[in-house]
């Protein structure tokens, strides 16, 4: 059976770690982030918050908190994704919701012809950079987005059978 368009994008998306020096128009960036808003979330809490970083110096500064500065600093945009939690709901479930939001963003970027890469190493980091720490929000990850400079990239995927615990 033929894959639908959504499955095609899901299967062809790859993490991209090399970007051309081309800015992303705001209209593209907004529609990529808006795709994230349509993710499912526990109790429909929509617990995600975004800080968009375009300033090259700021991206460079943030990249130094990670082992990935070699490629992060070339990204035209770094989106910091924060969790807005509240004491009355499970943080784990909120983070699952953010994972769904994040995947929507990665797929929307791929569909629009942009490469992206999640930077999980930023998780829970306190960024000692002006205006980057929001007391009420927890930093979950960064997402680099840009036009891909990479030509080839390969990732191995196991068959479904490997992940199946059984069929009852």
Which residues form the interface with ligand FMN (CB under 6 A)? 14-15, 17, 68, 117-121, 155
Q: In this structure, what are the phi and psi dihedrals at residue 138, rounded to the nearest 5 degrees?
A: -110, 130
Pick 15 or 26: Cβ nearer ligand FMN: 15
Cβ at position 120, least distance to ligand FMN in Å: 3
CA atoms within 13 A on the CB side of 166: 1
Cβ at position 134, least distance to ligand FMN in Å: 20
Pick 130 or 159: Cβ nearer ligand FMN: 159
User: Rounded to an integer, what distance in angstroms lies between the CA atom of residue 122 and that of residue 134?
Assistant: 14
Pick 46 or 71: Cβ nearer ligand FMN: 71
User: Rounded to an integer, what distance in angstroms lies between the CA atom of residue 166 and that of residue 168?
Assistant: 6
Cβ at position 119, least distance to ligand FMN in Å: 4
Residue of closest CB approach to ligand FMN: 120
Pick 33 or 118: Cβ nearer ligand FMN: 118
Cβ at position 72, least distance to ligand FMN in Å: 9
User: Rounded to an integer, what distance in angstroms lies between the CA atom of residue 113 and that of residue 110?
Assistant: 5
Burial of 112 (0-12, 13-18, 19+ CB in 10 A): middle
């Amino acid at each position: 059976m033929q894959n639908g368009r959504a499955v095609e994008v899901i299967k062809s998306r790859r993490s991209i770690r090399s970007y051309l020096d081309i800015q992303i128009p705001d209209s593209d960036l907004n529609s990529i982030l808006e795709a994230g808003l349509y993710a499912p979330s526990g109790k429909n809490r929509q617990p995600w918050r975004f800080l968009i970083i375009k300033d090259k110096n700021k991206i460079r500064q943030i990249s130094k908190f990670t082992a990935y500065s070699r490629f992060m600093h070339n990204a035209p945009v770094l989106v910091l994704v924060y969790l807005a939690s509240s004491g009355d709901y499970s943080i784990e479930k909120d983070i699952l919701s953010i994972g769904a939001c994040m995947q929507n963003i990665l797929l929307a970027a791929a569909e629009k012809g942009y490469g992206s890469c999640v930077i999980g190493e930023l998780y829970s980091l306190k960024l000692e950079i002006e205006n980057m720490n929001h007391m009420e929000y927890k930093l979950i990850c960064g997402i680099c987005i840009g036009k891909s400079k990479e030509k080839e990239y390969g990732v191995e995927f196991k068959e479904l059978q490997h992940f199946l615990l059984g069929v009852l």
